[in-house]
Amino acid sequence: MKKQRCILALALTLALTIGLAGCAQVPAQQPAEAPAAEEAAQEAPAETSEGYVVLVMDEENAPVPDAKIQFCSDKACLTADTDETGVAVFDQEAGSYTIHVLEVPEGFAADDTEYEAPAEPGIVTIVLSREAEEAEAEAEADGEVMDIPELGFHFVTPEKFANAKGFINWGNYNIGDGIQAITTAYYAVPTERINEYVEYMDSWYKASMSGEEAPEAPEPSWMSGYEFTDLYDIYTINGNRGKDELLAALEADDGMTEADYNLFEEIGKDGECTFFLARSAAFENEKSQYEETMGEFFTECEDLYEDKDAFLSALTLSEPQWPQSLKVGDEIFYESSDLDKNPLRSKAIFSEAKVTMINLWATWCGPCKSELPELAKMAREFEEQDCQIIGVVMDANNEEKAAEAKELLEAAGAEYLNLWGEDYVDEVFPIDAYPTTIFVDREGKILIEPIVGADPAGYREGLMKALEKVEE
């Protein structure tokens, strides 16, 4: 189970930048004043005057382009980048909104302020400082930085990791109940061959799902299990819980017990979160088999596996900014368009059926693509029961990806509605695994627990349960 998880994480790591942005709970402040605010706002397109205009400037009142702004109501968060005039526009009706600066351009210090939007559409001015933080600047200069605040993880890649001739894969997964993990695995293959491996795994998964003969594996075989190995895992558990609770959760999740590790130690605590460093014992227990299969990569892999100090010296941990999750009772609101860019609103879509099953998928996701023909059958099958299936193509936020999604759907015979993946799709659907499927009523309210992973049989059962719930 553990090795299989690493394989699936590989595709995720190659195709997906981790970043589920949430609305941080920090004291609200009034928008800053800036003399050039009115002039810059006037330069925005005329049709934006009815919405909220966020103007980002530096300390000398010059516009700041390419700042990523988050605009949140109590139901959803939108994101937009500032243009060359420093303006980002959110075409929303009057209401209560908070504004955050998610990302700043290079050379600017991060801004953690929570700004309040006025009650009526208008201008909010944000002033960014050009004084970069010294510690972060030094870290960036020393090596590639992996920063995942949602998981409390900050890693400055050591030279031996950065220059490895084998491929080092990072993945993350949610074990549930306030437990998260970041995994590091070593693959005895040059980075340039990884795409070939991913394509093979995609084909292998499709064959296994359909009962067809598995394709011939590239060399190395990738099926013995000794061409890759775990290096280190970082586990985070909240609620002031410790090692015993974490181990119990790991055993329940994939059958791993403390006997499967040769290293399992607490490495830090921040707030109510405790961090553990773990290393599977499989590589050490079966070195001869790994050496035979990995060949020229074995010595490098062994060095990385045993150099705990190098790993820990590059690691900084802090209390995670836990991502939101989809829960029963939450109400979904999504303004988007179909893959031909015809505008649509979720409220209108959901009103057309007692139950709507929303399949959140991506064009790079093998399991997602493999189940499309079955979803096409289900859409026709459940139509008579006043149920509908729609898809949200999470990575289709440009014409190229939308075209790819349309080709995949056509090949699968899937004629049900699929929606464009807007820039803010991660805020509306905060998920950490693909596919994820949710079931909502006519108002967009989630009826039952979401289903994570490809599970057509589970979808059928979920549709029946959701129907029962709306008919109660």
Q: Please, what is the angle between helix 456-471 and helix 372-382, to 10°? A: 30
Mean pLDDT across the chain, nearest whole number? 80
Rounded Cα distance between 294 and 301, Å, is: 9
* Whether domain 335-471 has CATH 3.40.30.10: yes
Percent of the chain with pLDDT over 70: 81
pLDDT at 298: 95
Question: What average pLDDT score do residues 180-194 get?
Answer: 83
Rounded Cα distance between 326 and 431, Å, is: 8
Rounded Cα distance between 72 and 100, Å, is: 8
Q: Quick check: 359 and 392 in contact, CB under 8 A?
A: yes
pLDDT at 36: 39
Confidence label for 371 from pLDDT (cuts 50, 70 and 90): very high
What sign does the dihedral 382-387-388-389 (CA atoms) show? negative
Q: What's the pLDDT tens digit per position in 124-140? A: 999 998 764 444 444 44
Q: What's the pLDDT tens digit per position in 82-98? A: 998 889 998 888 889 99
Beta bridge partners of 356: 388, 440
pLDDT at 463 over 50: yes
Topology (CATH) of 31-128: Immunoglobulin-like (2.60.40)
Task: Record the tokens describing residue 193, joined without a space.
Answer: 């061959």
Question: What average pLDDT score do residues 36-49 get?
Answer: 39
Q: What's the pLDDT tens digit per position in 393-404? A: 998 988 999 999
Instruction: Check for a shared fold between 31-128 and 335-471.
Output: no
pLDDT at 157 over 70: yes
Question: What average pLDDT score do residues 186-210 get?
Answer: 74
Confidence label for 20 from pLDDT (cuts 50, 70 and 90): very low
Question: What average pLDDT score do residues 160-176 get?
Answer: 81
Rounded Cα distance between 453 and 433, Å, is: 7
Confidence label for 414 from pLDDT (cuts 50, 70 and 90): very high
Question: What average pLDDT score do residues 134-151 get?
Answer: 56
What sign does the dihedral 246-247-248-249 (CA atoms) show? positive
Question: What average pLDDT score do residues 357-361 get?
Answer: 95
pLDDT at 8: 34
pLDDT at 406 over 50: yes
Q: Strand 418-419 to strand 387-393: parallel, antiparallel, or no bridges (unpaired)?
A: parallel
Question: How many CA atoms are closer than 13 Å to the CA of 262, on its beta-carbon side?
Answer: 12
Q: Quick check: 282 and 224 in contact, CB under 8 A?
A: no
Residue 295 Cα distances to 207, 228, 250, 291, 343, angstroms? 29, 12, 32, 6, 54
Nearest to 186 by CA among 121, 231, 247: 231
Q: Quick check: 41 and 123 in contact, CB under 8 A?
A: yes
Q: Which residues contact 300 (CB under 8 A, 6 or more apart)?
A: 164, 165, 166, 186
Q: What's the pLDDT tens digit per position in 258-310? A: 999 999 999 999 888 999 999 999 999 999 999 998 999 999 999 999 999 98
> For the chain, which residues make up each domain, given as ranges?
2-19+136-317, 31-128, 335-471
